[in-house]
Amino acid sequence: MIEQFAIDVPDAQLQDLKTRLESARWPDKETVADDSQGVPLSYMADFCRYWSRSYDWRSREKRLNNWPQFRTEIDGLGIHFVHCKSKNENAVPLILTHGWPGSFIEFLKSIDGLTTPRGDEEPLAFHVVCPSLPGYGFSDHPSETGWYSKRISHVWDELMQRLGYDHYFAQGGDWGAMVTTSLAIHHAKNCRGIHLNLPTVQPDPETIDNPTDQEKKALEVAARFDQFESGYAKIQSTRPQTLGYGLNDSPTGLAAWIIEKFWRWSDCGDHVENVFSRDDLIDNIMIYWISQSATSAARLYWESGGSADWGAPIDVPTGLTQSPKEVLLTSERWARKRFPNLIYWNELEQGGHFAAMEQPTVFVNEVRKCFSAILGTLGTRKL
C-alpha cells in the first residue's frame, strides 16, 4: 500500500530546537585563519543565530509539502519518496538517489526540469521517483543490521515495480552512486541504464604504474581525501552510535558536522554560501534534526564497509559526469574497465560533490544527454 505523506513538525519540537540553539555552549575559536580545523566559530555562531531567530520553518515546510510525497513499506521498512509524473507521453521512469550528508532535498531544484523540459526540440522527459535512503529523513530507521547498498537496491527495484515502472533508469551520487551501481548489477533486467556523478571506480592495477595526467590527478585527489577529508567516514564506519549521541542532542553540532561537507566538497570558492543559500542549507539539516536520523544515517557507513559492490563489472549502459571539485575522480580509461558499456562520459569545467543542488540546470542537462544517448543505443524512444 502506498500512502500520501506530508511533513508536520509539532510546535513543541520547534520550540525545543530554538531553546537548544539559544543556549548553545560554543567551543573555543579556532587557532587558524581558515577552515582547516573545521567550520569557523564566527560563521557557526552567526548561522545558528539566523536559524533560531530568522529562519521560518513553517514557510519552508509548506514549500516542501508542495511536492507529492508518499510512504510505502518494503522489506519491513517504511520508505519515504517524492514521485513526480511528467505530462509528456514519452516520459521514461527515473529513480534518483541521494547520499550523505544530503537528503531528497538535493534534487528538488532539478525535478521540474526533468519532468517538464523546455526547448524548441523534444527533449527527453522523466517520471521522477526520489526516495529517502533507509535511516534517512522520513524513511524508517532500520532496527537490525544488513541494510547496505545491495539490499537497498532490492527495495528500490520493488518500489519502481510497485509504482508500475517495469523498466527504468537510475541516477545517483555519493551513496546514491553505490545504490545505483547495485541496481545495475542485481537488477539489470529492469534497470536499463544508469548515470553517476560520483564514479564507483577504483584505479586499474594494470595501468596504475603508468598513469595518464588525468589518472595522476585522480590519485593525488584520492590521497588528499584520505589524509585530510576522510575522518568523518572512519568515525561513521566504526562508531556511529557513539557519534550519534552528540549529533542527535545538539543542533549546533549536527549543523557543523553537515555544513563542513557542503563547504569542503562543493565548488564554492572560499565560502559555502557562494553556492548554497542559508535557508537551503538549513532545510537539509532540518530533515536530519526533525527525523532524528543523524545516527541511523551514519550507520550506512558501518553497514557498507565490505559490501559496496566495488569490483563487479557492469554491462548496463552507463553514463558518467565528473565535476572538477568532486571528492574522488577517475579517468575514462579506468571507467571503461569497469563499465565496458560506457555510453556517455563528460568532464565539467566547474562543480562539486552535490551536483543537483549546486548546478541544477547543468545536472538536468547531463542526465538528459546521458539517457538520450542510452535510448539511442537501445533503439527506442520510450522504455
CA–CA distance, 340 with 334 (Å, rounded to integer): 10
CA–CA distance, 215 with 218 (Å, rounded to integer): 5
In the chain, what is the straight-line distance between the N-terminal and C-terminal CA atoms, in Å?
Answer: 25
Which active-site residues does the annotation give?
174, 301, 353
CA–CA distance, 356 with 96 (Å, rounded to integer): 10
CA–CA distance, 187 with 201 (Å, rounded to integer): 19
Q: Given the DSSP bridges, would you call strands 318-322 and 191-196 parallel, antiparallel or unpaired?
A: parallel
